[in-house]
Amino acid sequence: MAEGKVQYTPEGKIRKPDWLRVKLPVGEEYRNVRKIVSDHKLHTICESGNCPNMGECWSAGTATVMILGNVCTRSCGFCAVNTGKPSEVDPYEPLRVAKSVKLMGLKHVVITSVDRDDLKDGGSEIWAKTVELIRKMNPGVTLETLIPDFQGKWENLKRIIDVKPEIVSHNLETVRRLTKEVRIQARYDRSLEVLKRLSDNGITTKSGIMLGLGESDEEIAETMDDLRTVGVKILTMGQYLQPTLKHLAVQEFVTPAKFEELGQLAKSKGFEFVESGPLVRSSYHAEKHI
């Protein structure tokens, strides 16, 4: 799917195309969100994942909170989140998150987490408590949870099902052929099973994939079909950007026109909501997905 050839500067750095340039964050709302995140010792995937939309989202008063610390037990080839031995679970984190949601005055909240393969429950008990306390302290709020695969331990996934977030997202990230390279400790079919179990229990499901890692058009279409087969209704597609030189290299920059074409293809396959564009990330415009 060679669209935008990767070019380099004389210093050896990748030269990003114009459509990937973003504005610097400014404004009172941005400063307010940053202060709340800092004061309440929250982790956000916006910061940990080097999200290009942080300025836009924080200026709009929204942020994606990352629970269970900011150190992941997995070492995915695409992800900017630190890998290592995580700290002990903080039992007060759900309360801090719920209070912060109230202070921000959010009507829709997105929660994600690092993978905690070191924990017997995979962090699912903190997940469930966070959802419960957010709802208790913020009546009327809606929730999207971007969850890990819990290593296929279905009793842990059931805790998410039991608290019934309005949307549960779990990202395939890439096509089947590239999964072992991109998501080293994950399994393509296990992720599909996670999404199927959620859908079968009446939960609205969502998934996302990155483009520019060397996938073909046929593989993208196959991935869409796989997601529709397990009942996924919402799909996001965005450009992969290499966080550091240690991470997987960008193979191509997909043009906005190609993203538009793929978005139309996804809609034709029956997805109810599609976000497809170079700067799209999992939680981009998440409030619209309700």
The angle formed by the CA atoms of residues 252, 253 and 258, to the nearest 5 degrees, is 110
Mean pLDDT of 264-278: 97
DSSP 80-118: -SEES-PPPP-TTHHHHHHHHHHHHT-SEEEEEE---TT
Percent of the chain with pLDDT over 70: 79
Range in 20-34, 138-152, 195-209 with the lowest mean pLDDT = 20-34
The answer to whether the CB of 270 falls within 8 A of the CB of 228 is yes
The answer to whether the CB of 106 falls within 8 A of the CB of 142 is no
The full set of domain ranges for the chain reads 7-289
Identify the pLDDT of residue 81: 83
Identify the pLDDT of residue 183: 95
pLDDT digits 0-9 by tens, 244-270: 888 999 999 999 999 999 999 999 999
The answer to whether the CB of 250 falls within 8 A of the CB of 14 is yes
Percent of the chain with pLDDT over 90: 60
CATH of 7-289 among 3.40.50.150, 3.20.20.70, 3.40.50.620, 3.40.1180.10: 3.20.20.70
Identify the pLDDT of residue 10: 64
Model's pTM, two decimal places? Answer: 0.85
Q: Is residue 224 helix, strand or coil? A: helix
* Angle between helix 93-104 and 124-137 (nearest 10): 40
Q: How confident is the model at residue 48 (pLDDT cuts 50, 70, 90)?
A: very low
pLDDT digits 0-9 by tens, 208-252: 999 999 999 999 999 999 999 999 999 999 999 888 888 999 999
Residue 149 has pLDDT above 90, yes or no: yes
The answer to whether the CB of 290 falls within 8 A of the CB of 108 is yes
pLDDT digits 0-9 by tens, 49-107: 455 555 556 555 566 788 998 899 999 988 878 899 998 999 999 999 998 888 887 78
Higher model confidence: residue 146 or residue 43?
A: 146
Identify the pLDDT of residue 35: 74
